[in-house]
Amino acid sequence: MSLQQEIIERLGVKPSINVDEEIAKRVQFLKDYVKSARATGLLIAISGGLDSAVAAGLCKRATDELTRETGMEYMTLGVFQPYGEQEDIVHSYETAKAFGLAHTLETNIEDTVDEIALEVEHGMKAIGQFRHLSVPGKGNVKARARMVMQYALSFELNLLVVGTDHASESIAGFYTKWGDGAVDLMPLSSLNKRQIRQIAAALGVPGSIINKAPTAGLWAGQNDELEMGVSYEDNSDYLEGKPVDPAIQKRLESYFLKTEHKRSPIPRI
């Protein structure tokens, strides 16, 4: 078996999907877990991007169906988490409106992140490191601060935290370990970016969100495809088992091997 085949099998990506079947399967997955955990609903952080919009649509379908089927009230809570002023936060609100989310709130992480950065920089002085946090380092603090706030809310409201990681990100380790990689459920995990776009269209995600440049928003100007050095089209081709340029294949496989620790459980002795 080639490494490409091993990666595809590990991440569970299909060469093509039946969109309606995939939506139904993922909605049922969410419903089953909510019931088994005796939770009262789902929490999804809506960044304004494609992945969180699709996850929000699936969550809303799941909790609506649970409410109809059980007669109990189940909630999908949409959380907006800007760092100061977020230029595209209008897309977060647009997603919530598109799916009719009755429960939304905003938690601005700027003060929290800046205070953590100051404390870390102060601490590093004790070991002779007189510098600011790196741009990626502070970006990771943002991801972890967002997750802390999500879990504070989920604990108080008895909700499960839904993540947006998918195979096209996972192959490159494109999520912050124990930040946005620490969630209760990952309903998109076996989909590539192309398949997520297909599901987005079927769910009714606004076109302005489907067509926007993918970014995790961890620092100004951050762009997933530029950072990865591979387009999501080539990434999706690879995960569907199609041949790609050897240089692209080498880059993706190198990322996968280098970031294995992000996908693995905490090692135990």
Q: What is the pLDDT of residue 181?
A: 85
Q: Report pLDDT digits (tens) over 237-269.
A: 999 999 999 999 999 999 999 999 999 888 999
Spatial separation of the C-alpha atoms in residues 120 and 192, rounded to whole Å: 36
Contacting residues for 78 by C-beta, under 8 A, at least 6 apart:
44, 45, 46, 56, 92, 95, 96, 101, 103, 104, 105
Q: What is the pLDDT of residue 218?
A: 62
For residues 91-104, average pLDDT: 97
Q: Is the model's pLDDT at 11 over the cut of 90?
A: yes
This prediction has a pTM of: 0.94
Q: Is the model's pLDDT at 222 over the cut of 70?
A: no
Q: What is the pLDDT of residue 224?
A: 74
DSSP structural state of residue 265: P
Q: Report pLDDT digits (tens) over 105-147.
A: 999 999 999 999 999 999 999 999 999 999 999 999 999 999 9
Tell me, yes or no, whether 269 lies in a domain: no
Average pLDDT, the chain: 94
- Cα-only R_g, the chain: 19
Tell me, yes or no, whether 175 lies in a domain: yes
Q: How confident is the model at residue 87 (pLDDT cuts 50, 70, 90)?
A: confident
Give the range of the structural domain holding residue 187, as residue numbers without chain letter.
3-261
Between 180 and 31, the more confident residue is: 31
Tell me, yes or no, whether 268 lies in a domain: no
The length of the chain, given as a count of residues:
269
Q: What is the pLDDT of residue 221?
A: 64
Number of domains in the chain: 1
Tell me, yes or no, whether 267 lies in a domain: no
Q: Report pLDDT digits (tens) over 175-209.
A: 888 888 899 999 999 999 999 999 999 999 999 89
Active site residues: 51, 169
CATH number of the domain at 52, please: 3.40.50.620
Encode 215-246: b = buried (16+ Cβ within 10 Å), e = exposed: bbbbeeebebbeebebebebbbbbbbeeebee
